[in-house]
Structure 1
Amino acid sequence: MSVSFASVVGVTATGTIGTILYQTNDQFRQAIQALERCGTAGLVGARVALDYRQTLAGSYGSPEEREAAKSACHQRSADHVLWGLQKLGGVYVKLGQHVSAMVYILPPEWTSTMAVLQDKCDPTSPQDIKNLFLADCGQSVDQIFDTFDWVPLGVASLAQVHRAKLRDSGSNSSGLGEWVAVKIQHPSLDNFCRIDMDTVSFIFDIVKTVFPEFGFEWFAEEMRESLPKELDFVHEAANAHKVEANFSDDRINRRTALTIPKILWAKRRIMCMEFIDGARIDDLAYMEHHNIDPREVSLEMTRVFSKMIFLDGYVHCDPHPGNVMVRPAKNPKRSKYNFDLVLLDHGLYRTLTDELRTDYARLWKSIITSDEDGIKKYSMRVGGTDVYRLFASMLTGRDWDAIDSADLGSSRSEAEFKRLSEGAIEFFVDVADILGRLPRSVLLLLKTNDLLRVVDEQLNRAASDQKTTYVVMGTVCTRAVWLDTKQRLREQLAMVGFDFKVFGELVRSWLSFQTLEWGLWFYEKYAVWAERISKLKAARLTL
């Protein structure tokens, strides 16, 4: 077949013009890159869907062969998706991080493969950082900082952090002349965030059409709601100030080790804050070197997040190990702890209504005390589900036998992990239905539970159980329930005047609260001392 000279010239001219536009026109280049990103996401999705369809439709000689084929398909698919997420970056990496936390839903091949996304992300180039400062601050990096370390301290899906030193103008009242941490958003997010979210939503819609039982379209909706807040560092700074205020009394009265880095200033995509030197909360070698007890760190983290959830109703919803640091106490005389628990990345918070906060406290109190009637009642109030045993397992990461026997403090065995994984697949539709009904705040609480549980297990690796963790949590739940009951009964007394029946209920509620709180306090102290005595005995035996 002959090709006319005019056709050749036309194709060549089109290619030349396209190349020139790609190199010189930002809008044209972004449009082409957006199409490439959509194409990559679509191809990965199609490849995974085809692999699952062929695997599930295959014939196998035994149930064991079928399970082995499914496991291999899980791993292949997770590897394909991981490659796509790392290639696309930004929003897609954030999506993978959410997936890695969904241990109550997805097979371990998926969650373990996606776990690497919590740490490994590509950094923004120095030139792009320079351009960002000029665009957002109207000044160059050199005009703001005396020293700027171009090698980032850490790189996450949405931002990276650099160490720098502010130019000294003769006063240190605002941190001038001091070392600071500078959080810088990846500039590419502005170009592709919206199109990426639209693509994710489209893919989820297609999956829902092909597989009607798929119940995770809320996933894209949650990211669409949360991401704009996470991408606004002015909003993040406000969150940090609020949580600092919530814990101010605890800091004054030496009741907490929580430390929030001081925010010096914030723009939408750049934030300058106090520099804090320390280590990730899962760095056990660092804690041993500084004589910090990992179990004490675990208990303090439980106290901090229990207060956030059950008392304040204002919750940091991304406490993965990269966002929580530990260091030796900066002011030992002002703290009863020999360490500081440093909480970073305040972009993702949820405010709980008083009703949800207290119902959630009652649900956890019921779970900790193995009160099945209470679990049933408050599972419906919190999650809108009557499949309360499954919901309790999703909250705790434990199977029903451990919950029913009040054995939450025991370490999870390999057999229990296997039962949970098999149950997640067996009850996939029920799990999807529960998640589809949950308020967005509860969905993030589930994610927060999973992240906290992982940290707790890592810090208690040498321990045979984590009973004290649940004792601490139960104490805060009990206090939240009492405070709510006290307020309700006092309001009744204010409306009807003095009433012996209401007053009697108030006294009984107080006695019930005090009895349980005192019992939990005694057990906590007993467990701490028993652990210390056990360590002393072990040390003497080694001498």
Structure 2
Amino acid sequence: MAGRLLKVSCLATAVFTSSGFYLYNRRLDLNDLSVIRFGRAAATTAAISYDYLTAFKHVEYGTEEYWALKSKVHLRSAERLRDLCCANRGTFIKVGQHLGALDYLLPEEYTSTLKVLHSRAPQSSMEEIQQVIREDLGKELSELFVSFEEKPQGAASLAQVHKAVLHDGRTVAVKVQHPKVQRQSSKDIVVMEVPMIHWHLSTKRILTMEFAEGGQVNDRDYMKEHGINVNEISENLGKMYSEMIFVHGFVHCDPHPGNVLVRKCPQNRKTEIVLLDHGLYQVLQPDFRLDYCRLWQALIKSDISGVERYSRRLGAGDLYPLFACVLTARSWTAINAGISSAPVTHSEDVEIRTNAALYLPQISELLNRVPRQMLLLLKTNDLLRGIETTLQTRASSSSFINMSRCCIQAMARHKRSKAQSMRRCLQITLAESLNLWKLTMYELFLWVKGSSLVQWLTALLAFLH
């Protein structure tokens, strides 16, 4: 049993070991501290592994003492990982943020400990922030801002954000890169609507933007206080990412809770979702995106032959059942039964957590097989499932139905682009409308099936008979 627990811990630590080797192979420059970072990662991995191997030697499995000790070992290991992330910063914090969002997969001791990295990563001092602003903008804080809050709104892997007020009265968010972050960057920043950039107060290391109010997407207390419907947020988040992935193929790949805010629009009081940090996007290749659409359609329809066919086309090979489980965060039994109709149960969650530990070698092999753009989609899926778990909306089938709706629209758009006549375009559009109508009827059926009215009528009929 200790060996199995060790595998669970290595699900987290192996990632850091890989990062360490990567840094070690890329650069053996002591001035860049790669060797030191690798040494920290290796030492942390060794300490965690030794703890799991030795802690349970004299404790009988299944006793109260065993479960209490198991929780303590999980917590110690999680704290070691958190300290490693804080010490190595950069990519290590990104990985820690990802692990902290996997509520449905990792033990609670890990996720609760690593969640602090979503918005409270290691901070640069105010002196360091002032120095970066002085170097890049050539002025002191008082010359640029009426006020500049010393305590950051949030600190992430590469930068931290401070709330400030310009001399014209506008409130802004000033994102300042940590001084030790390397300046080089291989990609341009893609500017999107919300937030507005104040270019005269921005450089390669400083980004001054419109300040976006709101609470984190996993803050249920904030939503309750502001009258925000949790189920509506979960459903709209799923719709938004489904449309990005399946229809447009242009995907924000870092939706951890610190990067997703929710709020009531001041003008119309409608609920809004605000995406922050647009530094990590994936543009999906058309053929890949269409095969991914077809795979999800097969998963939703419980078309196992289709699941195998399109999983193989996406590189999973004979590991297609495992690929389907990793992609949906559902058990193979649930996939065969129909993920859009079978709700997530506690026993299934236990099965998923257990299998995650048992199949680590196969999972590692699978991740090495699939295209690199699939890795970012899997990361995105993990984070979205984690948010659903935190909001307690994961048992709902609405996310899969919304995926199906976007898949139908994406496939119809593709077919229309290949059509050679208006008649064929009309046929495709009519077929699309019919499939969307069928999906709406199915969604209505599931709603009626699960409504309290039907349960009451069923009980009444049973009583009368």
Q: TM-score by structure 2 length? A: 0.79
Distance 2:141 2:51 in 1: 49
Give the letter aligned to residue 122 of structure 1: P
Displacement of 1:186: 1.4
Of residues 386, 391, 395, the one that matches 2:327 is 395
1:190 maps to 2:182: yes
- The answer for the alignment partner of 2:167 in structure 1 is 167
What is the aligned-residue identity percentage? 35
Please identify, of 435-444 and 465-474, the stretch whose mean Cα deviation from structure 2 is larger.
465-474
Three-state SS of the structure 2 residue aligned to 1:189 is coil
Distance 2:83 2:50 in 1: 17
Three-state SS of the structure 2 residue aligned to 1:477 is helix
Aligned 8 A contact 2:176 2:206 in 1: yes
Change (3 A) 1:290 1:98: closer
Distance 1:325 1:476 in 2: 23
Give the letter aligned to residue 403 of structure 2: M
Please identify, of 517-526 and 31-40, the stretch whose mean Cα deviation from structure 2 is larger.
31-40
Cα RMSD, aligned residues only = 3.6
Displacement of 1:106: 6.2
Of residues 418, 432, 440, the one that matches 2:364 is 432
1:518 maps to 2:454: no
Displacement of 1:63: 9.8
Three-state SS of the structure 1 residue aligned to 2:228 is coil
Displacement of 1:59: 10
Distance 2:103 2:262 in 1: 26
1:442 maps to 2:374: yes
Displacement of 1:422: 1.7
Displacement of 1:187: 1.3
- The answer for the alignment partner of 1:197 in structure 2 is none
Displacement of 1:316: 0.4
Displacement of 1:271: 0.6
Distance 1:436 1:74 in 2: 27
Of residues 231, 235, 242, the one that matches 1:295 is 231
Distance 1:297 1:327 in 2: 10
Distance 1:91 1:468 in 2: 33
Aligned 8 A contact 1:108 1:421 in 2: no
Distance 2:450 2:210 in 1: 36
Change (3 A) 1:34 1:312: closer
1:323 maps to 2:259: yes
- The answer for the alignment partner of 2:243 in structure 1 is 307
- The answer for the alignment partner of 1:262 in structure 2 is 196
Three-state SS of the structure 2 residue aligned to 1:271 is strand
Distance 2:84 2:157 in 1: 14
Displacement of 1:517: 0.7
Distance 1:409 1:330 in 2: 37
Structure 1 stretches lacking a partner, 5+ long: 1-29, 169-176, 192-226, 245-259, 538-543
Displacement of 1:385: 2.4
After TM superposition, the structure 1 = structure 2 runs for residues 32-431 of structure 1, keeping only pairs within 5 Å, are 37=37, 39-51=39-51, 76-101=76-101, 110-111=110-111, 113-168=113-168, 177-190=169-182, 228=185, 235-236=188-189, 238=190, 240-241=191-192, 244=193, 260-265=194-199, 266-332=202-268, 338-408=270-340, 410-431=342-363
What whole-Å deviation, never above 9, does each CA across 1:218-243 have from its counterpart, x for those lacking one?
xxxxxxxxx956xx7xx34x1x42xx
Distance 1:467 1:93 in 2: 32
Distance 1:114 1:390 in 2: 26
Distance 2:277 2:145 in 1: 22
Aligned 8 A contact 1:264 1:273 in 2: yes
Distance 1:384 1:530 in 2: 36
Displacement of 1:477: 1.0
Displacement of 1:507: 6.7
Distance 1:411 1:113 in 2: 29
Displacement of 1:64: 9.3
Displacement of 1:445: 0.5
Aligned 8 A contact 1:292 1:338 in 2: no
Displacement of 1:527: 6.7
Three-state SS of the structure 2 residue aligned to 1:182 is strand
Change (3 A) 1:105 1:341: closer
Aligned 8 A contact 1:103 1:450 in 2: no
Distance 1:476 1:291 in 2: 29
Aligned 8 A contact 2:98 2:256 in 1: no
Structure 2 stretches lacking a partner, 5+ long: 1-29, 457-465
Displacement of 1:469: 2.2
Distance 2:428 2:58 in 1: 61
Distance 2:197 2:32 in 1: 38
Give the letter aligned to residue 125 of structure 1: S
Displacement of 1:523: 4.5
Please identify, of 146-155 and 516-525, the stretch whose mean Cα deviation from structure 2 is larger.
516-525
Aligned length: 421
Change (3 A) 1:378 1:398: same
Distance 2:71 2:282 in 1: 36
Displacement of 1:325: 1.0
Distance 1:51 1:375 in 2: 40
Distance 1:286 1:374 in 2: 42
Distance 2:449 2:132 in 1: 55
Three-state SS of the structure 1 residue aligned to 2:198 is strand
Change (3 A) 1:278 1:53: closer
Distance 2:443 2:406 in 1: 13
Change (3 A) 1:150 1:329: same
- The answer for the alignment partner of 1:477 in structure 2 is 407
Please identify, of 506-515 and 134-143, the stretch whose mean Cα deviation from structure 2 is larger.
506-515
Give the letter aligned to residue 382 of structure 2: D
Change (3 A) 1:419 1:124: same
Displacement of 1:347: 0.9
Aligned 8 A contact 1:328 1:340 in 2: yes
Displacement of 1:531: 9.1
Three-state SS of the structure 1 residue aligned to 2:152 is coil
Three-state SS of the structure 2 residue aligned to 1:330 is coil
Change (3 A) 1:127 1:161: same
Distance 1:446 1:165 in 2: 39
Aligned 8 A contact 1:102 1:447 in 2: no
Aligned 8 A contact 1:107 1:424 in 2: no
Give the letter aligned to residue 120 of structure 1: R
Aligned 8 A contact 2:343 2:396 in 1: yes
Displacement of 1:272: 0.9
Aligned 8 A contact 1:368 1:406 in 2: yes
Give the letter aligned to residue 386 of structure 1: D
Displacement of 1:62: 7.2
Give the letter aligned to residue 481 of structure 1: M
Distance 2:60 2:133 in 1: 62
